[in-house]
Amino acid sequence: MKLWDKGYDTDKFVEEFTVGKDRELDLMLAKWDVIGNIAHLKMLNSIGMLSKQEADALETALKEIYASINNNNFSLDEGIEDIHSQVEYLLTLKCGETGKKIHTGRSRNDQVLTDLKLFARSEIYRISILVEQLFNLLLNKAEDNKDVIMPGYTHLQVAMPSSFGLWFSAYAESLADDMLQLHAAHLLVNTNTLGSGAGYGSSLPLNRLLTTELLAFDDLAYNSVYAQMQRGKMEKNVLFALATVASTIGKMAADICLYASANFDFLKLPDRYTTGSSIMPHKKNPDIYELIRAKCNRLQALPAEISMIVTNLTSGYFRDMQLTKEIFLPAFKELSDCLSMMIVSLPEIEINKNILQNPIYKYLFTVEDVNEMVSAGMPFREAYKVVGMKVQRSEYNSTTDRKLNHTHEGSIGNLCLDEIRAKFARHKWDFSKIQEAEKKLLES
């Protein structure tokens, strides 16, 4: 079954080429297609295009289809092109000729885009919940380890004193900024494109404000041409938000791989989160963090992939946009898997609290010595030269067992954890209105 069927056959290879991966990918959109259909039929009933009896029959059938999706008892039949065709086909089987009315006032263009938006806003929120879990975990680790000194590095050279508290909370604050990007992506997604048709609206008196309310969108995508121009633009900008989160956790995974190496020995990974070597019996490899790093690098490339597909397209729909699904839909699971792996593994990482006993860190406190001289009245450049000459002549000696007096905001003695929590809270958003709207559409 094809929604565009006009009574002639298409070459089989042409059909396979144009359908692509839609059949498998569209299963990810199944429940959102049903929810969009329920809102659409209620609107059609309100403008007299469906009788109450017809609308009730379609709504009952759609809820049965939704239940089969939830019970993992749903698939696309052989010969069915996509999820939209499958749902319409099932409605026709269940409701007869009435099932054929569900597409009234709609194009597959606005149907696909609406499905993608409903899917994306739910997935963005699910990602935000995982980000919040990781954020809280990192801040708790920062609090627990705020007094554990670790060497800071620049250029991969020993630099200045840092702490595990500072390290953990750095990634927490990065996630707080990432939430700003996720919220922006949610706002972009949460506008209603249903009713824009193929990009030029409809001669039927559609009530787009009603479907906006029923689906709990924040607003309409008013202009029908622009509504369809959001295809590609939406995916690219959402993927930028996912890439921002991926950048944070990918960098942390890279740190963990480095810090768990024997040369650094800052961290010890739990045995059950490491793998071994087929030839070297001593090896405990940080494979999960290496894969998180690689997957996050791949996620950061996805916005560019979307750009290369849609950048030179003029206004109006093009089949090129079908390929964006292959990039867009799987990205959410890839990122959520990386976040989930971080969440389960980080609590079991052991921290080396005696790192500074290693003699390679004998110069770690040179800046502390310079600052002590400056505090006593010596000009900075003079103090810098005095300490530098001692290092140059191998005359520098400093104990690593010393009390540090770092008090300014964001230093190892003043982590500002409460302020970072407040920053994260500012970027959270309430999803309850959307959840209530979806629940109401599905109620018996």
What is the model's pLDDT at position 397?
A: 83
Residue 362 belongs to some domain of the structure = no
For the segment 186-207, the average pLDDT, to the nearest whole number, is: 96
Which CATH number is 258's domain given? 1.20.200.10
Residue 278 belongs to some domain of the structure = yes
pLDDT band with cut points at 50, 70 and 90 for residue 10:
low
What is the model's pLDDT at position 4?
A: 44
CA 329 to chain centre: 11
Q: Could you list the residue range(s) of the whole structural domain that residue 63 is in?
A: 12-101
Residue 392 belongs to some domain of the structure = no
Are residues 305 and 159 located together in one domain of the fold?
yes
pLDDT, one tens digit per residue, over 69-104 is 999 999 999 888 889 999 999 999 999 999 999 999
H or E element: which one contains 163?
strand 157-163
Number of independent structural domains in the chain: 2
Are residues 116 and 89 located together in one domain of the fold?
no
What is the model's pLDDT at position 444?
A: 65
Torsion of CA 180, 184, 186, 187, to 10 degrees: 140
Amino acid at 45: N
For the segment 128-148, the average pLDDT, to the nearest whole number, is: 97
Are residues 159 and 265 located together in one domain of the fold?
yes
Whether the Cβ atoms of residue 216 and residue 52 lie closer than 8 Å to each other: no
Which CATH number is 54's domain given? 1.10.275.10
Residue 3: is it exposed, middle or buried by C-beta count within 10 angstroms (0-12/13-18/19+)? Answer: middle
pLDDT, one tens digit per residue, over 290-315 is 999 999 999 999 999 999 999 999 99
Are residues 291 and 144 located together in one domain of the fold?
yes
Are residues 311 and 217 located together in one domain of the fold?
yes
Cα distance between residue 68 and residue 280, in whole Å: 50
Are residues 73 and 114 located together in one domain of the fold?
no
Q: Residue 443 in 3-state DSSP?
A: coil
For the segment 134-151, the average pLDDT, to the nearest whole number, is: 96
Are residues 68 and 131 located together in one domain of the fold?
no
If phi > 0 it is left, if psi is from -120 to 50 it is alpha, else beta; for residue 274 that is beta
Residue 399 belongs to some domain of the structure = no
* Domain termination residue (choose one: 101, 120, 135): 101
pTM of the model: 0.92
Of residues 404 and 65, the one with the higher pLDDT is 65
Q: Is the pLDDT of residue 11 over 70?
A: no
Residue 391 belongs to some domain of the structure = no
Residue 269 belongs to some domain of the structure = yes
Residue 383 belongs to some domain of the structure = no
Are residues 75 and 220 located together in one domain of the fold?
no
Q: Is the pLDDT of residue 359 over 80?
A: yes
Are residues 97 and 112 located together in one domain of the fold?
no
Q: Residue 78 in 3-state DSSP?
A: coil
pLDDT band with cut points at 50, 70 and 90 for residue 12:
low
Residue 397 belongs to some domain of the structure = no
* Domain termination residue (choose one: 59, 81, 101): 101
pLDDT band with cut points at 50, 70 and 90 for residue 406:
confident
What is the model's pLDDT at position 405?
A: 81
Mean pLDDT of the chain: 92
Q: Which among 193, 208, 201, 203 is positioned nearest to 42, based on CA atoms?
A: 208
For the segment 48-59, the average pLDDT, to the nearest whole number, is: 97
Are residues 128 and 239 located together in one domain of the fold?
yes
* Domain termination residue (choose one: 101, 134, 154): 101
Are residues 323 and 422 located together in one domain of the fold?
yes
Are residues 190 and 313 located together in one domain of the fold?
yes
